[in-house]
Chains A and B, each alone.
Chain A
Amino acid sequence: MKKVITMEQALDHIKDGMTIMIGGFLACGSPEKVIDALIEKGVKDLTIIGNDTGFVDRGIGKLVVSGQAKKVIVSHIGTNKETGRLMNEGKLEVVLVPQGTLAEQVRSGGAGLGGVLTPIGIGTPVAEGKDHLIIDGKTFLLEKALKADVALIFGSKVDEKGNVYYHESTRNFNPLMATAAEVVIVEAEELVKVGELDPHLIMTPSLFVNYIVKA
């Protein structure tokens, strides 16, 4: 199966109203080229799941500024003033989630689990409206799994089968999101031949990856 496709072909998989996961942490390890192409294409009403809304000119934040997001599920919006402004004007729904909870929601979505039980958030606004379960005398919140229609991830080195290596701190949410979406598209910073990546160092097995676009 040929996974390396053009940006145009990749964008065909992303439609109005979809839920998409986008890797990166304050734009470090975000698929910037795919984000730029999405903005050019103008897909709208997206629900975006990511660690944060980056900056006005970098990372997920660009899709907030362009008005293509109707909802974001993130842990932090403080570095992008447009997110706060659109939220206050009622033009963007913002769901704030503790970062470790978000990681586990995505991980459980990809792992076939219904969610996780976490003590984080108890006694804070995060816990409002959520089920509290007592397990062996300790209280936990039930946080449901998250899944997406499409995951957009960024790989530092990707082989033509879709095996991915992430360099330094670009890894963050990328390998988790690669497991939790119907269609996974990886933006390859460097595309290499099959066999060039040491199997010990592959962080996302190719079976999770549907398509590859060259950055």
Chain B
Amino acid sequence: MTDSRVKFSERAYEDVYRATFPTVWSIVRRLARTDEEAEDACQHAYLALYRYWSAGTLREAPTHLLYRAARRAAIDALRRRHRLLRLFERLPKESRASADVGGPLARALQKLRPEDATLVMLQAAAGLTYEELAAIDGKSVGSVRSRLFRARQQLARLYEDEGGTW
């Protein structure tokens, strides 16, 4: 993970962007309704990284801030999705939905609590340790560990409910 002492430069910023985007996209896109919504969330996250890093006020690894901002954006996206579901029961057809986020696992993930869903994604897609997750979540390692355990168990059940097979 990139160290917070790495000096900011446009080149360093692009390097972090290229290295992390597939993971960030994977996290955000699985929880957002559309590609456009996910792209907006990614832009917010990377702009936040740029703002703090270029101002020299970054106090943590750039990727930590990035994942926290991406997680926040993904939680917002998932909450919007839940609100729409409550309003219309069934979502309208999505304009530019990706084919790779429509399966039973994606549907199950979207039914978790947004905070838990993003935590699961950060661990699975970004490969973060419990300590790193706790730093991003602002909670203790024990709390993160137990929440992740319950969330993953619930995810497995929801996956089966959505027709997923092992």
> Are A and B co-members of a single complex?
no
